[in-house]
């Protein structure tokens, strides 16, 4: 018994760390309707500022705590509401998740621009000193950090439960989450209530960040969520609680902490089970919870009864374009392509050519996001992991079996497709938010375990992926590789467009709109989802292998889960619904990175910030902010052309000529303009 207690008891404060994260996720979800992956980033911001105030500015700990947690954190929360979430009231939970992914990337990257990016080592503690043991519980030493976390967690949970159960503001928050606009019609000041909810949630994030500060050996914007286990355990406990019950989240988190400690204690260290099962345990629990907890069903459905008041989705820019611009656009496009290829092959500096090669191969990876997110409306947060599978397979097959890289890339793509199919089979009943979380779990599992073996990701050394050769043609030179990558990209674009315009593309669009209605027509959601997931993973794997060939050496760190998140935000910014968006994303991603190397190092985070801001607008502009701006420009040009026609017709006195020639009706539907369909919000992501 004493052994059991000595293993189990330390799990309690450990679990309380998880609980702060879990309670934060549940609170934010209940009070704002957002599954806030950026909770960790908000925590990081508060911790960073707290550390800065104490150590750089020499402020006393209590004053730094007040400024960072009680002043700046709520202000950040209010700002998030005011500038972002207030404008996407009826979007789906998944669409809001994309916005929170954008924040997760943007917030930590913004801080070094103002405060420099020197890693800050051994941050201070806010309350009791974690290096002092205050007492022993069943022979287990309990230090100051553990006491602080446990006490604060219990107090916070009690206060939040009381607030939701017995106060008017708690009830108002629940009503506002259901429908801001409906609550407003009932006399509730929805904007203020939502702002208060965000402020409260942000304070909790700040509190978590400052309390957990001593756990982090290094505070750096490049590793804002170095506590992956914290993130996984927090999501698991929140999922066990069905994203609803704060006390259950606490109990689940503490339970998870205890079980993890017991496993570590009882399984012989160094044994195969301890090395494989213990690291995978939280992921298994998380996936199991996401799959089998009935309380999570329907989490993604926007119940806003006023969603029908939203305008219909914007038509694509190409459909707004004045037909007279079609030919110049086509000609301009081909001139651009030829100029790009000729320039890459001749005069462009080598550094830029490498960047182009990266951009083209990444465009292939990004096409996989066009398939999964743009066409099926589902969000996958593990596309970089699939790219990794392809790259590692191509490298390993080349190294050990002597398989040519191009063939290895195709085989790598097939292996990634098989991996994608396995993930899809596991998550076959899930969609929307839950599917996104399963894919995130898979990405984290690959980071923590699957890619770390020598037979997969090559361990610490990584894997070499050489440049391809076809007969006597050697693509070792960047200039020739660009041509090869271009051909591969065109092939993949053709494949994706054939699917998009074919039966499966239509089925996917149907499923995105209404899975229930699609099934009622005889469409198998399972087979359509499996097909698109496998094909998307396959393309990501093939693109990843070619990307690996550009880099020539890849390791687990090349395809960490943050890269998957970055990929998603980049494609969503430029437009996930067209192949054009994927190519723009690939080229922009690599070329921006190159341009930023000419700036001081502290501005390195600007690229992810720019794309992250783009992703934040996803819920409001699911077609992509770049595509949205293009549509506006197309509309403007079409208006100018019409005005020109009218003036010309007026001058010549030709009646009836002033109708704008062949200009289409600016995207407006020809007859009915009243949207009466309750649109699946946020472009139907996860609908």
Q: Which of 171, 106, 43, 86 is nearest to 615 (CA)?
A: 106
Choosing from 271, 288, 502, 650, the residue that interacts with other proteins (CB under 8 A) is: 502
Half-sphere exposure of 622 (CA within 13 A, CB side): 32
**Binding of residue 657 to other proteins (CB under 8 A):** no
Q: Is 612 helix (H, G, I), strand (E, B) or coil?
A: helix
Q: Find the binder of other proteins among 313, 459, 661, 664 (CB under 8 A).
A: 313
**Window contacting other proteins (CB under 8 A); options: 49-57, 73-81, 94-102, 311-319:** 311-319
- Give me the phi and psi of 137, to 5 degrees please: -120, 115
What whole-number distance in Å separates Cα of residue 680 and Cα of residue 687?
6
678 sits near other proteins (criterion: CB under 8 A): yes
Contact segment (CB under 8 A) with other proteins among 56-64, 174-182, 197-205, 496-504 equals 496-504
CA-based nearest residue to 521, from 500, 506, 501, 499: 506
Helix (H, G, I), strand (E, B) or coil at 473: strand
Shortest Å distance, C-beta 538 to other proteins: 11
To other proteins, the closest distance from the beta carbon of 418 in angstroms equals 15
Q: Which is nearer to other proteins, 99 or 577 (CB)?
A: 577
* Category of 465 on φ-ψ map: left (φ > 0), alpha (ψ -120 to 50) or beta: beta
Determine the Cα angle at 109 with ends 104 and 115, to 5°: 135
Minimum CB separation of residue 505 from other proteins in Å reads 7
Q: Which residue lies nearer to other proteins by CB, 182 or 262?
A: 182
In this structure, the chain runs to a length of: 687
Nearer Cβ to other proteins (136/501): 501
Closest distance between other proteins and the C-beta of residue 496, in Å?
A: 10
DSSP per-residue codes, 390-401:
HHHHHHHHHHHH
CA atoms of 206 and 229, how far apart (whole Å): 19
Binding to other proteins by residue 498, rule CB under 8 A? Answer: yes
Question: Residue 490 interacts with other proteins (CB under 8 A)?
Answer: no
What is the DSSP code (8-state) at residue 321?
S
Q: Interface with other proteins includes 507 (CB under 8 A)?
A: yes
Bridge partners of residue 120, in order along the sequence? 219
Residue of 390, 462, 684, 686 that binds other proteins (CB under 8 A): 684
Selected from 205, 254, 518, 609, the binder of other proteins by CB under 8 A is 518
**Other C-beta atoms within 10 Å of 130: how many?**
17
Segment contacting other proteins by CB under 8 A, of 259-267, 343-351, 511-519, 591-599: 511-519
Which of 418, 509, 591, 641 touches other proteins (CB under 8 A)?
509
Among 67, 295, 510, 649, binds other proteins (CB under 8 A): 510
593 sits near other proteins (criterion: CB under 8 A): no
Cα 264 from Cα 256, distance rounded (Å): 12
Residue 501 interacts with other proteins (CB under 8 A): yes or no:
yes
Say if strands 469-470 and 463-464 run parallel, antiparallel, or are unpaired.
Answer: unpaired
Q: How many CA atoms lie within 13 A of 365 on its CB side?
A: 39
Whole-number Å distance between alpha carbons of 419 and 63: 51
Binding track over 614-653 against other proteins, x by CB under 8 A: ----------------------------------------
Output 329 or 524, the one with its CB closest to other proteins: 524
Site string for other proteins, 443-472 (x = CB under 8 A): ------------------------------
Q: Rule CB under 8 A: is residue 513 a binding residue for other proteins? A: yes
Give the containing element (helix H, strand E) for 120.
strand 120-121
Binding stretches for other proteins (CB under 8 A): 312-313, 315, 495, 498-499, 501-507, 509-510, 512-514, 516-525, 527-528, 531, 535, 668-680, 684
């Amino acid at each position: 018994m004493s052994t059991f207690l000595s293993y189990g008891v330390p799990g309690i404060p450990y679990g309380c760390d998880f609980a702060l994260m879990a309670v934060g996720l549940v609170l934010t979800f209940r009070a704002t309707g957002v599954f806030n992956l950026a909770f960790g980033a908000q925590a990081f911001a508060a911790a960073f500022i707290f550390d800065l105030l104490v150590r750089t500015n020499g402020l006393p700990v209590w004053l730094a705590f007040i400024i960072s947690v009680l002043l700046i954190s709520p202000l950040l929360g209010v700002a998030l509401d005011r500038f972002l979430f207030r404008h996407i009231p009826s979007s789906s939970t998944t669409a809001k998740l994309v916005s929170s992914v954008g924040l997760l990337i943007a917030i930590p990257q913004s801080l070094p621009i103002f405060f420099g990016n020197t890693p800050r080592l051994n941050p201070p503690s806010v309350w009791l000193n974690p290096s002092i043991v205050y007492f022993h519980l069943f022979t287990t030493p309990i230090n100051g950090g553990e006491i602080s976390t446990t006490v604060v967690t219990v107090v916070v949970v009690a206060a939040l439960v009381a607030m939701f159960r017995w106060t008017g503001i708690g009830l108002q928050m629940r009503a506002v989450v259901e429908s801001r606009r409906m609550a407003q019609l009932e006399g509730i000041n929805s904007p203020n209530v939502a702002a208060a909810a965000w402020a409260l949630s942000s304070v909790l994030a700040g509190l978590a960040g400052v309390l957990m500060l001593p756990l982090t050996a290094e505070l750096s914007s490049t590793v804002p969520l170095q506590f992956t286990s914290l993130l996984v355990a927090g999501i698991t406990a929140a999922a066990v609680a069905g994203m609803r019950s704060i006390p259950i989240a606490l109990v689940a988190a503490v339970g998870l902490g205890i079980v993890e400690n017991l496993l570590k204690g009882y399984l012989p260290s160094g044994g195969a089970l301890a090395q494989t099962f213990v690291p995978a345990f939280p992921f298994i629990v998380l996936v199991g919870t996401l799959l089998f907890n009935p309380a999570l069903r329907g989490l993604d459905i926007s119940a806003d009864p006023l969603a029908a008041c939203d305008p219909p989705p914007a038509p694509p820019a190409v459909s707004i374009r004045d037909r007279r611009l079609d030919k110049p656009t086509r000609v301009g496009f081909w001139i651009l392509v030829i100029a790009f290829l000729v320039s890459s092959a001749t005069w462009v500096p080598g550094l830029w050519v490498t960047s182009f090669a990266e951009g083209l191969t990444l465009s292939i990876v990004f096409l996989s996001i066009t398939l999964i997110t743009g066409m099926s409306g589902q969000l996958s947060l593990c596309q970089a992991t699939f790219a990794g599978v392809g790259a590692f397979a191509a490298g390993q097959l080349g190294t050990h079996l002597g398989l040519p890289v191009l063939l290895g890339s195709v085989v790598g793509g097939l292996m990634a497709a098989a991996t994608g199919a396995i993930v899809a089979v596991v998550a076959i009943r899930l969609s929307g938010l839950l599917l996104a979380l399963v894919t995130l779990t898979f990405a984290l599992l690959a980071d923590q375990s699957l890619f770390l073996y020598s037979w997969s990701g090559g361990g610490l050394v990584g894997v070499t992926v050489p440049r391809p050769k076809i007969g006597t043609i050697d693509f070792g030179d960047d200039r020739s590789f660009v041509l090869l990558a271009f051909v591969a990209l065109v092939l993949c674009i053709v494949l994706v467009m054939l699917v998009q315009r074919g039966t499966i593309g239509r089925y996917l669009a149907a499923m995105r709109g209404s899975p229930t209605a699609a099934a009622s027509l005889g469409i198998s959601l399972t087979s359509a989802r499996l097909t698109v997931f496998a094909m998307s993973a396959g393309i990501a794997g093939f693109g990843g292998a070619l990307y690996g060939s550009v880099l020539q050496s890849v390791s687990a760190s090349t395809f960490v889960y943050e890269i998957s998140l970055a990929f998603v935000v980049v494609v969503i910014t430029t437009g996930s619904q067209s192949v054009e968006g994927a190519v723009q994303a690939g080229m922009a991603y690599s070329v921006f990175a190159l341009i930023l190397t000419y700036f001081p190092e502290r501005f390195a985070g600007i690229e992810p910030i720019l794309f992250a801001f783009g992703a934040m607008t996803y819920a409001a502009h699911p077609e992509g902010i770049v595509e949205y701006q293009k549509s506006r420009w197309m509309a403007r040009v079409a208006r100018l052309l019409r005005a020109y026609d009218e003036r010309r017709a007026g001058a010549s006195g030709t009646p009836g000529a002033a109708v704008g020639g062949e200009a289409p009706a600016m995207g407006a539907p020809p007859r009915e303009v009243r949207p009466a369909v309750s649109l699946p919000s946020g472009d139907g992501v996860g609908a």
